[in-house]
Structure 1
Amino acid sequence: MANVLEVKDVYKHLGKREIIKGISFSVKEGEIFGFLGPNGAGKTTTIRMLVGLIAPNKGTISIMGHEIGKEREKALSSVGAVVENPELYTYLSGRENLMQIARIRKIPKGEVDKVVELVKLSDRINDKVKKYSLGMKQRLGLAAALLADPRLLILDEPTNGLDPTGIMEFREIVKHASKERNTAVFISSHILSEVQQLCDTVAFINDGKIQSVESITGGQIKNETETLVLVTREAKNCSEVLKQLDYVYEVSAEENVFTINAKEDSSPEIAATLVEKGIAIKEMYKKHSELEQRYMELVEGGKK
C-alpha cells in the first residue's frame, strides 16, 4: 500500500520556542492513523502544517508524493479536513452548504447525494443548519471534507463536545468512509478510548516529539516496536552505541537506566552489539503494556 502522507524530520519553532522537534511518520491509503497526546503536545501545530497554514522550519511534508513546500496546490488538492468547528452557513440548509462547495470545486451534484448518504444526514439535509445538533454539524463538516473524494482526510479533535451517541455515530462513519473509499485518515485526539476504537495505528506525541508509533488490532496494541529497559554502569559509551543502531528509534536515559524504543524482537541484537563493544549489561528487560499504560508511560512519564 502506498503512503498518502509522509512527514520527515519536521521541526517548527514559534519565536524562540521549539514546538515540534523532529517528527517523522507516514500514513498509508485506507489507514486510520491516530495522533495521540495531551493538550499542548504539538498536535494542532502539526495539523496546521499538514493543511498548509504554516510552514515547517525544517523537514518535509509530502501528500501523494507532492511536497507542500514545493508543490503546494498539487499536495493540498488531495486533502479534506475538519479542523475544530467546521465553517458552515447556519442560515442555509445542509444541502445548500454542500452545493456551494460543489459549485466552487466543480464537483458533480451526484457526489453531494453520495456523501449525504455516507454521513447519514439524508433525512435532515434540507433543514437549515441552525436547527442541527452539534453532532449533525460535525457530520455535515465531514461531508464537506469528503466531497472532493480526498486521498487524505484530516480530523482535529472531531468528537469534542459530542455526546456518547454522537461519538459512536461519528466513529462508524469515519471507519466506513476510510474503508469504502480507501482514504487515509489522520485523526488528532487526546481521548484514549476514541483512538483505541477507531485507529489502525497510533503515534504518541508529547512535548513536540513522537515517543512511539504502534499498531492497534481489535482495540489492542500490536507492537511493531518494543520498549526495553537497560541498566548499565557505562552510560556514556552505551548511549553512543545505541544511537548508531538503525533498529533503535528512541533512547532516553536517567543516570544508568536507559529506556529504548526499538524494532520488535531486536533485543538480542542490541545485547550482542553492546557486549561486543565491551559494555557490561547489568539488567535488560522488555516492557509490556496496553494503550492506556503506553500513554501513561510515554506521555505522562515524558512530562518533566
Structure 2
Amino acid sequence: MNSYIVQVENLSHHFGKQLVLDDVSLLIPNGSIYGFLGPNGAGKTTTLRLILGLLKKQTGVIRVFGDDFERHRIAALEGIGSLIEQPSIYLHLNARENLEIYRLAYKCGQKRVHEVLEMVGLNDVGNKKSKDYSLGMKQRLAIAIALLHNPELLILDEPANGLDPNGIIEMRNLLLHLNREFGKTILISSHLLAEVEKIATDVGIIHKGKLLFQGTLPELHQLQSDRTIIEIEVDDLENAKTALAQLFSFTTAGRNTLQVICNKKEQVAAANDLLVKQGVRVYNLKVIQNDLEALFVQIITA
C-alpha cells in the first residue's frame, strides 16, 4: 500500500472572488492520526469537503488510497468514514435503530451494529433514545455510523467542538483506541491545539487558506527557537497594542490579554517597560511554555 493514504497537491479554492484555499498540499501517512490545525475560518472544513467530494474541486489533485479521487470516487468513498459538522442521527430513534438504518444502506452484516457500539463505548446505552444522549454520546454514535462499513480512513471535522471536559477526554481516548487497536488512519481537524497535541502523530497547520507547516509532531517541536512567548494581562488592551506594535509581534489571547513574542529574554523586560511608559497597568506577566499552542503563535506570526 502507498505510504500515504491521502495525497493533496496544489489545492486552491474560491467562493466567488474570495480565495479560501491557496495552493494547499497535504500528505496523510497510512496509520497516522493527522491533526489538521488552524483557527476558525482557516480553510479546514473546505479542505475536508474537497477530499470527500462534497465540494467540486477547482484546482489541484486529490489522491485517496493512491488513486485519483475523481476517477475512482466510489471505490475511495467505500474506504472512508466521515463526520463533518453536525452528527446525522435520528433523535427519535435509539442507537441500535439509527445504526440499523445505515447498516441496510451499507449492506453490512447485523453483527456489525453490536461491534461498532462496542468500539465507541455505547453498547450499554444502545437502547436509549438518542435525543436523550449528551453531545459527546451523539458524536460517538455518529462515529459508530461512520465505522459501520469498516473504513480504513476516518475524516472528522472538529469532533470535540462543544464538548465538556469529560466529553473531550472520552473523544480523545476513543480516537486513540480506534487508531491503536483497529488500525484506523484518522484525519481530524481542530482548533483545540493542546488537545490535538495529546493524540496526533502528524500535524498540518493552516492559516488564512495557506498551509504553514506539515510534518510529524516531533518535527514541529524542533521548530522551537530561542524566542520566548509571554502572556500579559493589562487594563487597557488597545493602548497596550499601540505601545507594543512598534517593536513586537503579538496576538490577542483574551479580553485583556496579549501573547507577545520576544526574541531574547531581555525583550521581556523591554515589553513591560514600554507598557508602563504608555501608562498601561500590567496585572500579570508570565512566560508561556513551549507547547504546541505557543509554536502555533510563532508560526502564524512569523
Q: Residues 70-107 of structure 1: CA distance to partner in whole angstroms, max 9, x if unpaired? A: 22111221110111111100111100101111111111
Residue identity matched to 1:122: N
* Closer, same or farther: CA 104–78 of 1 in aligned 2, 3 Å: same
Residues 19-45 of structure 1: per-residue CA shift (max 9 Å, x gap): 111111111222000011111111111
**SS where residue 123 of structure 1 aligns?**
helix
* TM-fit CA distance, 1:2: 2.2
Aligned residues of 2:106 and 2:148 also touching (Cα < 8 A)? no
* Partner residue, 1:133: 134
Alpha-carbon separation, structure 2, partners of 1:77 and 1:66: 13
**Residue 213 (structure 1) aligns with:** 214
TM-score, length of structure 1 as denominator length: 0.74
Paired residue type of 1:34: G
- Following superposition, the deviation at residue 293 of structure 1 comes to 2.2
Runs of 4+ in 1 over 3 A off after TM superposition: 220-223, 225-229
| Change in 2 beyond 3 A, CA 1:211/1:221 | closer
SS of residue in 1 equivalent to 2:124: coil
Match of 1:200 in 2: 201
Using the alignment, how far apart are the partners of 1:73 and 1:20 within structure 2? 25
User: What TM-score, normalized by structure 2, do the two folds share?
Assistant: 0.75
SS of residue paired to 2:174: helix
Q: 1:269 maps to what in 2?
A: none
- Equivalences for residues 1-304 of structure 1 within 5 A: 2-216=3-217, 221-223=220-222, 290-299=291-300, 301=301
- For structure 1, the 5+ residue unaligned runs are 230-288
Alignment correspondent of 2:275: none
Uncovered stretches (5+) of structure 2, i.e. residues with no partner: 228-289
Q: Secondary structure of the residue that 2:198 maps to in structure 1? A: helix
Return the alpha-carbon distance in structure 2 between the equivalents of residues 86 and 141 of structure 1.
5
Distance across 1 between alignment mates of 2:67 and 2:110: 29
- Secondary structure in 2 matching 1:22: strand
Q: State whether residues 42 and 209 of structure 2, in contact with CA within 8 Å, keep that contact through their aligned partners in structure 1.
A: yes
SS in 2 for 1:198: coil
Matched residue SS, 1:92: coil
The Cα shift of 1:56 comes to 2.3
What SS class does the counterpart of residue 172 from structure 1 fall into?
helix
Q: Distance in 2 between matches of 1:183 and 1:206?
A: 27
**How far off its partner does 1:181 sit?**
2.1
Check whether the contact 1:35–1:186 (CA below 8 A) recurs between aligned residues: yes
How well do the aligned residues superpose, as a CA RMSD in angstroms?
A: 2.1
- Equivalent residues, number: 240
